[in-house]
Amino acid sequence: MKRIPLLAAAGLLTGAVVLPTEKGLAEMNTEQNTTTQRSESHPYAGMWVTADGHIRHNLLPNGRYDEARGKRESAYQGRYEIRGNHIDYWDDTGFTADGTFIDGVLHHAGMILYREK
């Protein structure tokens, strides 16, 4: 008979959700059901860049993003969720960040990004 770890057994008894320990944080984040606004017509989907063009966030319509830094394309990739004017990022390594859209400008981690024209 296979033994169930104590934490898993406790979760089963209380009805709690028990996540598999074999998966990393980034992998678990990509499986979550979200209320992300995903649509090609979403007003925030597209390319956002700093004034000097060094940082570039491509917010893809499928809820994924691709960040370039300087000459390094795809420096960071992951998923994002937008609720109102707030954006949350989860990169594929498990790092998290957030930002706010104010008057058509993205304020993120001390940076200001503008929609690429």
What mean pLDDT, rounded, does the chain reach?
77
> Hey, what CATH class is 23-115 in?
mainly beta
Burial annotation 9-21 (CB, 10 A radius, 16+ → b, else e): eeeeeeeeeeeee
Q: How many other CB atoms are there within 10 angstroms of residue 42's CB atom?
A: 14
Domain ranges of the chain: 23-115
- Indicate if the pLDDT at residue 81 is higher than 90: yes
Three-class SS of 70-107: CCEEEEEEEEEEEECCEEEEEECCCCEEEEEEECCEEE
39 burial level (CB within 10 Å; 0-12, 13-18, 19+) = exposed
**What is the reported pLDDT for 4?**
42
**Residues 67 and 56 sit within 8 Å (Cβ to Cβ):** yes
- pLDDT tens for 24-56 read 444 434 444 344 444 455 789 999 999 999 999
Least confident of 4-8, 58-62, 78-82: 4-8
Q: How many other CB atoms are there within 10 angstroms of residue 117's CB atom?
A: 5
Whole-model pTM over 0.75: no
